[in-house]
Chains A and B, each alone.
Chain A
């Protein structure tokens, strides 16, 4: 019993931290068995709130080993995933329910971004 109580206290203790706002918002769409965009550009060293929407009639599981992220996106549903500040680089993600569906988070250095 007490362990469950402890868990509740822990959770409520953590919740105010939700106030932590993300510095940027990005969105990813699942449509026609594809991620849109397949290359998701994110700013470096920024906490990002990523909104993933699924327009398919099949549920998807957005998963990334590189980002340690895993979330079910129900059919015609939408979820939020926070991504912590990233170093420049490529971070793969895929749909665990349809591994042929792949994409990448691309983070470039500020200077390189300006060059584009």
Chain B
């Protein structure tokens, strides 16, 4: 029962942490709760579909269907995280002011609400499908399954609890620094997910590795350890990375960084402009 709880906990944790960061980063955006909830709901549907079709998916594309699907899910999350950060660069200050004063609604540009849904959907679908598949198999199998199912549910609850704690922790960050902290979190999260996507495309034989095991820090911080796992989820820590993973990681960092810089510079006389929160931007 405990073993089951731990396995399910690990799968749920990744999705829960990503949802927590997204919820934090979108603080103050009107309607975000509904869009994130929609992402979770659709993600669970998607996860069930993937688990249901697991055998067919695995057989697809010469046995690499699953890896390709994972890469697509991860890359769409990366694109949406990029959009979110670029938008926040232009509107973060307005949002902070809005939260502080409960003032006027933010109107600039198109709010990245679809991005919130897609990111949550991706996180829940990818990790959820593994949890669903595992729990499903237990439920279908014989033996001491009620204990194992109970363990699974405990794992789900524990994963969600950790996500909730992270969210509460984020909210304690002073508003002045809040969106720059969440911006960095999203940047590192996106880079890590991009590296994971590269790993999957390489696993499917679609991308070259460009060198396996560029370095090995598993003696310093093993990915089997709790800290190693957490850092893997949050900042994309890989103890023994391949070249292509590094290329995707750094490439994503640089791209998002550059795009947010450009978004920041596009604003005329930034400081004064951002303070007038009710003006619409081109």
Contacts from A to B (Cβ < 8 Å): 3-4, 6-7, 10-11, 14-15, 17-18, 20, 22, 49, 51, 57-59, 61, 65-82, 84-87, 96-99
B206–A74 touching, CB < 8 Å:
no
* C-alpha spacing A42/B239, complex, angstroms: 22
- Does B242 belong to the interface (CB within 8 Å)? yes
Q: Is the C-beta of B79 less than 8 angstroms from some C-beta in chain A?
A: yes
Q: Would you mind naming 29 contact pairs between A and B with Cβ atoms under 8 Å apart? A: A3-B76, A3-B83, A6-B79, A10-B75, A11-B72, A14-B206, A18-B204, A49-B205, A66-B213, A67-B212, A68-B199, A68-B203, A68-B245, A69-B199, A70-B199, A72-B133, A73-B58, A75-B137, A76-B55, A78-B63, A79-B58, A79-B63, A79-B64, A80-B62, A82-B204, A84-B202, A85-B209, A97-B134, A98-B3
- Residue positions of B touching A, CB distance < 8 A: 3, 7, 10, 54-55, 58-59, 62-64, 66-68, 72, 75-76, 79-80, 83, 130, 133-134, 137, 141, 199-209, 212-213, 218, 222-224, 238-242, 245
CB distance A82 to B72 under 8 Å? Answer: no
Q: Is the interface of B mostly helix, strand, loop or mixed?
A: helix
**Listed residue (A6, A76, A77, A79) with the most chain B CB atoms within 10 angstroms of its CB:** A79
Most B Cβ at <10 Å: residue of A15, A81, A97: A97
A9–B160 alpha-carbon span in the complex (Å): 36
Q: Give the Cβ gap from A24 to chain B, nearest Cβ, in Å.
A: 13
A-B contact count (CB 8 A): 121
State in angstroms the CA–CA spacing of A51 and B62 once bound together. 10
Q: State the CA gap A70–B83 with chains docked (Å).
A: 28
Which among A71, A78, A87, A98 has the greatest number of chain B C-beta atoms within 10 A?
A71
Closest partner residue, chain A, to B201 (CB atom): A14
A28 → chain B closest CB, angstroms? 13
Q: Are B223 and A58 in contact (CB under 8 A)?
A: no
Of all chain A residues, the one with the shortest Cβ separation from B76 is A7
Query: Does A15 contact B206, Cβ atoms closer than 8 Å?
Result: yes
